[in-house]
C-alpha cells in the first residue's frame, strides 16, 4: 500500500482520545483517535448506536467532547467560543443530510444561494458577506457542478429525490469549504439516485474537497477509498489513510 501523498496544511479533521458522555452516564465515544488528511474521501460506518452520529456532531462542531481534543482545519474546538465556532462551521464545513432540508416553494438557485448567508465571518474574525447578486452567481456555479444547471428555477416539489439531494450538496459546497460532511446522503434515495449522488461526491472530492460520509450502508462504505468502522463508541477498524483525489492507496 503506497503512502498518502503529502497535503499542505494540517489535517482537516483531528480527534485525539475523544470521549463523549451524556447525562445518565451514557458513553457515546470512548477514546477515539482519528486523522482525516486534506483531499481524502472517507466513510465512517457502523450500526445504530455505534457512535458515528456523535462523531459527526463533534467533527461538525455542533457539540463539544467531554474530554479529548477535536480540531477542524487546524482550529482546536476547545479554543473557540460559540461565535467563533459558528463562524468555523459557516466557512470551513459543509453539511449534507439524509432528508435534504430545502426550503419549500423556493427555487433551487435561492436554496443554494441562501447557504452563503451564514458566511459573514470566519474563525479569525468578522467579514462582510457576499451581496445577493454574488450569492446567486455562485449558487448557479455550484448547481452546474452537481449537474443541475438546467434546473435552477425548479422548486423542491418539482425535483426528484436525487435532484433534491444534489441541490443540498450544492448548497453545502457553494462557499467552497475544505470539509464536506454527508450524513446518510443516500438513505432516502433509490439505488440509481443514490449512485448518482455518490458520483457527485466523488467528483467534488476529485476537485479537492475533503469528504466524510457517515453511513450504516456497508456497500456504500466499501465503495469509498477509506473506511473507518465504529462499534459501541470505539473505532474498531480503519483501512488507513487514503486519497480520494486519484492518489494511490
pLDDT digits (tens, 9 = 90+) for 109-119: 999 999 888 66
φ/ψ of residue 166, rounded to 5:
-65, -40
Mean pLDDT of the chain: 89
CA-angle at 146, arms to 143 and 148, nearest 5°: 55
pLDDT digits (tens, 9 = 90+) for 175-207: 999 999 999 999 999 999 999 999 999 999 999
pLDDT digits (tens, 9 = 90+) for 146-182: 999 999 999 999 999 999 999 999 999 999 999 999 9
Contact 227, 43 (CB under 8 A): yes
Read off the C-alpha cell for 136.
Answer: 446567486
| Cα separation, 248 vs 4, whole angstroms | 7
What is the second-level CATH architecture of the domain 13-238?
A: 3-Layer(aba) Sandwich (3.40)
- Place 131 in a pLDDT band, splitting at 50, 70 and 90: confident
Domain ranges of the chain: 13-238
Determine how many CB atoms are found less than 10 A away from the CB of residue 53: 17
pLDDT digits (tens, 9 = 90+) for 65-98: 999 999 999 999 999 999 999 999 989 999 999 9
| Cα separation, 193 vs 11, whole angstroms | 31
- For the chain, what is the HEC assignment? CCCCCCCCCCCCEEEEEEEEEECCCEEEEEEEEEEECCCCEEEEECCCCCCHHHHHHHHCCCCCCCEEEEEECCEEHHHCCHHHHHHHHHHHEEEECCCCCCCCCCCHHHHHHHHHCCCCEECCEECCCCCHHHHHHHHHHHHHHCCCHHHCCCCHHHCCHHHHHHHHHHHHHCCCCCEEEEECCCCCCCHHHHHHHHHHHHHHHHCCCEEEEEECCHHHHHCCCEEEEEECCEEEEECCCCCCCCCCC
Amino acid at each position: 500500500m503506497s503512502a498518502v501523498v503529502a497535503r499542505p496544511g494540517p489535517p482537516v479533521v483531528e480527534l485525539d482520545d475523544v470521549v463523549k458522555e451524556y447525562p445518565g452516564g451514557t458513553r457515546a465515544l470512548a477514546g477515539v483517535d482519528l486523522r482525516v488528511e486534506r483531499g481524502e474521501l472517507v466513510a465512517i460506518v457502523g450500526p445504530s448506536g455505534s457512535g458515528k452520529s456523535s462523531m459527526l456532531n463533534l467533527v461538525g462542531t455542533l457539540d463539544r467532547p467531554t474530554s479529548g481534543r477535536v480540531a477542524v482545519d487546524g482550529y482546536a474546538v476547545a479554543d473557540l467560543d460559540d461565535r467563533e465556532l459558528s463562524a468555523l462551521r459557516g466557512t470551513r464545513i459543509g453539511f449534507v443530510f439524509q432528508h435534504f432540508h430545502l426550503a419549500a416553494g423556493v427555487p433551487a438557485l435561492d436554496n443554494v444561494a441562501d447557504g452563503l448567508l451564514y458566511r459573514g465571518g470566519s474563525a479569525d474574525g468578522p467579514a462582510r458577506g457576499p451581496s445577493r447578486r454574488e450569492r446567486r452567481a455562485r449558487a448557479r456555479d455550484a448547481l452546474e457542478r452537481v449537474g443541475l444547471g438546467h434546473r435552477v428555477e425548479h422548486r423542491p416539489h418539482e425535483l426528484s429525490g436525487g435532484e433534491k439531494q444534489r441541490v443540498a450538496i450544492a448548497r453545502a459546497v457553494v462557499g467552497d469549504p475544505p470539509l464536506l460532511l454527508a450524513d446518510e446522503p443516500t438513505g432516502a434515495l433509490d439505488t440509481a439516485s443514490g449512485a448518482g449522488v455518490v458520483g457527485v461526491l466523488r467528483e467534488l472530492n476529485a476537485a479537492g474537497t475533503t469528504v466524510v460520509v457517515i453511513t450504516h450502508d456497508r456497500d456504500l462504505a466499501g465503495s469509498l477509498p477509506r473506511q473507518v468502522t465504529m462499534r459501541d463508541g470505539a473505532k474498531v477498524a480503519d483501512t488507513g489513510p487514503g486519497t480520494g483525489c486519484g492518489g494511490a492507496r
